[in-house]
Amino acid sequence: MVEIDGGHLEGGGQILRTAVALSVITSEPMRICNIRKGRDRPGLRPQHLHGIAAAGQMCNAQYGGLKMNSTEVTFNPAKIRGGTYTIDTRTAGSVTLILQALVPIAISADSPVELILRGGTAVPFSPTIDYFRYVLCSMLRMYGVSMEVEVRKHGFYPKGGGEVFVRATPSVLEPVKSMDRGEANRKRVWAVASGHLKSARVAERMLKAFTGSEHDAELRCSYVGASSPGCFITACTEYDSGVIGVSSLGRRGKPAEAVGAEVANSLRRATESAASVDEWMVDQLIPFMALATYRTGEPSEIRIPALTKHAQTNIWVAEKFLGIAFKIEKDLLTCVRS
């Protein structure tokens, strides 16, 4: 049984998500303690609870300690099964954070997996659904991941109520060699606001603020049905061998112009380095880099802007389960068989 200290390094839910995914994929039972020790409210929250339950359902796992606020869980997986699974947080719990645990499992199944996730699609402290489908999924395609994402309804804090459909097919992960991102091909921007904010032209104002300092971008603006008012903007620059993206959420008291300008400035700063990805992408890619190297024996290499504590945490978890090791030299992150 693999023993995981959930309070290590970053000490958040990411340890739990990555550990559960790798436990399922390797068929290694695990026990994790001190869950989310580094957070103000330690233990399992709704999105963690439902994510683990869904992972367990996908592999007919046996587990203990799966209840709200629990700080210790045991998890004993069996064979991954394809099929359709519904995950409903009944809150504004982030669907993209749940997908961080379920996507690696889904592409490792014996047949296609369909996921119906209900919760928050753009909520604080998590990637927006547009970042997930337009930035992360673009990178995952370079690894050989085949996945479709459909947003059926958006969900904002506090009511949530969003719904996302994901279809993933069994995929053979390929090591990525992204030391040189190549030429910039295009820049894209998506501004999304709930219908509550249409009369205030919030989406258009976010875009106008973005284009005040950034030009030659493909712009999309939309108003969506949602149970709670909310807005966000996502932007990315696509290169030959990489994608750099950023997002920002609106909130009460923060002008739409400030949201758009924030994303423009963040994208400009993120593209100033020679990295192939943004700093938020690095920790999300680590499980896929590790699995590609674990399965093929070939190294994965990617040029990064920084190694955050989130990334270090995911590396620590991956090395617990897989016979791989990460090393960083200057800005080049490499995963090799150990």
How high is the pLDDT of residue 177?
Answer: 86
Alpha-carbon distance values, 66 to 51, 61, 111, 118, 148 (Å): 11, 12, 27, 20, 30
Residue 310 is a catalytic residue: yes
| Percent share of the chain, pLDDT over 90 | 92
Tokens of 288: 């896929």
Domain end: 249, 270, 291, which one? 270
Q: Looking at the structure, do residues 296 and 164 belong to the same domain, yes or no?
A: yes
User: Residues with Cβ < 8 Å from 225, sequence gap 6 or more?
Assistant: 153, 154, 194, 195
Q: Looking at the structure, do residues 240 and 333 belong to the same domain, yes or no?
A: no
How high is the pLDDT of residue 82?
Answer: 96
Q: Looking at the structure, do residues 68 and 155 belong to the same domain, yes or no?
A: yes
Cis ω before 158 (30° cut-off from 0): yes
Could you tell me which of 25, 321, 324 has the C-alpha nearest to residue 171?
A: 25
User: Residues with Cβ < 8 Å from 123, sequence gap 6 or more?
Assistant: 92, 93, 94, 155, 156, 157, 160, 249
Q: Could you write out the DSSP letters of every residue in 251-302?
A: -TTS-HHHHHHHHHHHHHHHTSSS-SB-HHHHHHHHHHHHHHHHHH---EEE
How high is the pLDDT of residue 118?
Answer: 97
Tokens of 69: 């606020």
Q: Could you write out the DSSP letters of every residue in 314-326?
A: HHHHHHHHSSEEE
Domain end: 222, 239, 270, which one? 270
Are 71 and 35 in contact by the 8 Å Cβ rule? The answer is yes
Q: Looking at the structure, do residues 38 and 160 belong to the same domain, yes or no?
A: yes
Q: Looking at the structure, do residues 193 and 152 belong to the same domain, yes or no?
A: no
CATH (domain of 106):
3.65.10.20
- The sheet carrying 2-5 orders its strands as 2-5, 30-33, 73-76, 62-64
Could you tell me which of 174, 179, 144, 142 has the C-alpha nearest to residue 301?
A: 179
- With H, G, I as helix, E, B as strand and everything else as coil, classify residue 43: coil
Q: Looking at the structure, do residues 197 and 150 belong to the same domain, yes or no?
A: no
Domain end: 270, 297, 314, which one? 270
How high is the pLDDT of residue 288?
Answer: 97
Q: What are phi and psi of 57, to 5 degrees?
A: -65, -35
Q: Looking at the structure, do residues 144 and 192 belong to the same domain, yes or no?
A: no
Please give the chain's pLDDT, 338 residues, in tens: 999 999 999 888 999 999 999 999 999 999 999 999 988 889 998 889 999 999 999 999 999 999 999 999 999 999 999 999 999 999 999 999 999 999 999 999 999 999 999 999 999 999 999 999 999 999 999 899 989 999 999 999 999 999 999 999 999 999 988 889 999 999 999 999 999 999 999 999 999 999 876 667 899 999 999 999 999 999 999 999 999 999 999 999 999 999 999 999 999 999 999 999 999 999 999 999 999 999 999 999 999 999 999 999 999 999 999 999 999 999 999 999 98
CATH (domain of 264):
3.30.360.20
**How far is 166 from 176, CA to CA, in rounded Å?**
23
**How far is 150 from 8, CA to CA, in rounded Å?**
35
Q: Looking at the structure, do residues 167 and 303 belong to the same domain, yes or no?
A: yes
Q: Looking at the structure, do residues 43 and 64 belong to the same domain, yes or no?
A: yes
Q: What are phi and psi of 178, to 5 degrees?
A: -120, 65
**How far is 190 from 337, CA to CA, in rounded Å?**
39
Are 124 and 249 in contact by the 8 Å Cβ rule? The answer is yes
How high is the pLDDT of residue 162?
Answer: 97
β partners of residue 116? 86, 165
How high is the pLDDT of residue 215?
Answer: 66
Q: Looking at the structure, do residues 158 and 196 belong to the same domain, yes or no?
A: no
**Annotated catalytic residue, options 48, 50, 154, 310:** 310
Strand pairing class (231-239; 300-303): unpaired
Are 105 and 24 in contact by the 8 Å Cβ rule? The answer is yes
Structurally, the chain folds into a number of domains equal to: 2
Q: Which domain holds residue 254?
A: 184-270
How high is the pLDDT of residue 214?
Answer: 62
Q: Looking at the structure, do residues 331 and 223 belong to the same domain, yes or no?
A: no
Q: Looking at the structure, do residues 294 and 233 belong to the same domain, yes or no?
A: no
**How far is 336 from 310, CA to CA, in rounded Å?**
20
DSSP 35: T
Alpha-helical runs (H) found in the chain: 13-26, 46-59, 95-106, 129-131, 137-142, 202-211, 256-270, 279-296, 309-321
Tokens of 303: 């040029």
For residue range 54-80, list pLDDT tens digits in order.
Answer: 999 999 999 999 999 999 999 999 999
